[in-house]
Amino acid sequence: MATLVQYLKSQDVESSLMEIFLAFEKAVKEIAKAINFSDGGYAGSQNASGEEQLALDILSDQILEKAFKKTEKVYLVASEEKEEAIILNENGQYSVAYDPLDGSSLVNVNFAVGTILGVFKFKEFLGKTPKEMSAAAFAVYGPRTTIVLSIGNGTHEFTLRHSEFVMTRENLKIKENTKIFAPGNLKAAITENWYRNILKYWLDSAYKLRYSGGMVPDINHILVKGEGIFAYPGTKKEPDGKLRLLFECGPMAYLIENARGAACDGKISILDKQISSIHQRTPIFIGSKAEVERCKM
Ligand code: F6P
């Protein structure tokens, strides 16, 4: 079984991108340890989106920032836990965006959580689209620690075994149709009839529910099982929903599309959405192609 490093070498990735992934891999191992051994309490502060930060959110953010800074390859960094993007190294050619610990409120109940990463070979995020990323990845901290990544030619899973990430699934493939659903933001159905109708269709068609409340494990479920639909719609009051384009939906869309799935905001592909601010939100429907199509308005 190829290790993550061996896989990247076999793909002739640029040395800078390789270093960025080595830093990510190292940070993921550290975050996995921090989840196991550190305090699960609140930090007493809020992130840029006004959500309460856990001590673990801040620690994970610091672990990633430190790891990327050390590479000297990263120019700009944007994190869900930071108000603004910050310059890490004037000579860096890449910009990285991450959600350090997505679903962190699920740590206390011992559900799976994750880290999401998007990598751009630009010195700016604004005006770019997720399609322009050079790579994307997420880590899942569950019964096992895994990294799912894509450098634009397929999406692959690596599992932490004896301190090394080794490839456990090559070229994940998502079926066009599915009977598994992960419906986020259910309360949107109170005001949005179109969402209520889709939910009714899924229920009447006996779809199987697989929803954990964490975007990373929910999307990972789709990738590993090879089918499914995850939805997080907006409402008339909050048309952009909750999830962020740069830190969450963009990288996830890149990984899912590289596994033959699709992702849209109800109208256009998530990969084609222009990033106009780093904390920009978007509705999302992601997973099996035919099911994503059904969610288009
Ligand atoms: O953005 C964080 C997150 O926890 C996602 O992982 C998850 O899909 C979503 O929020 C769930 O949000 P809520 O429970 O508020 O609908």
In this predicted structure, what is the pLDDT of residue 12? Answer: 95
Rounded-to-integer distance, Cα 184 and Cα 37, Å = 30
Residue 48 has pLDDT above 80, yes or no: no
Q: Give the residue whose CA is nearest to atom 12 of ligand 1.
A: 213
- CATH no. for 180-294: 3.40.190.80
Ligand 1 centroid–CA 38 distance in Å is 22
Best residue among 80, 211, 215 to mutate for probing ligand 1's pocket (most ligand atoms within 8 Å of CB) is 215
In this predicted structure, what is the pLDDT of residue 51? Answer: 77
Q: Give the residue whose CA is nearest to atom 8 of ligand 1.
A: 215
Using the atom order of ligand 1, give the atom closest to the CA of residue 184: 16
* Ligand 1 binding site (Cβ under 6 Å of any ligand atom): 102-103, 184-185, 213-215, 242-243
Class of 4-169 in CATH: alpha beta
Using the atom order of ligand 1, give the atom closest to the CA of residue 106: 4
Using the atom order of ligand 1, give the atom closest to the CA of residue 99: 1
Q: Report the share of the chain in percent with pLDDT over 90.
A: 93
Ligand 1 centroid–CA 103 distance in Å is 6
pLDDT digits (tens, 9 = 90+) for 153-197: 999 999 999 999 999 999 999 999 999 999 999 999 999 999 999
Ligand 1 centroid–CA 185 distance in Å is 8
Binning pLDDT at 50, 70 and 90, where does residue 37 land? confident
Domains of the chain by residue range = 4-169, 180-294
Ligand 1 centroid–CA 246 distance in Å is 15
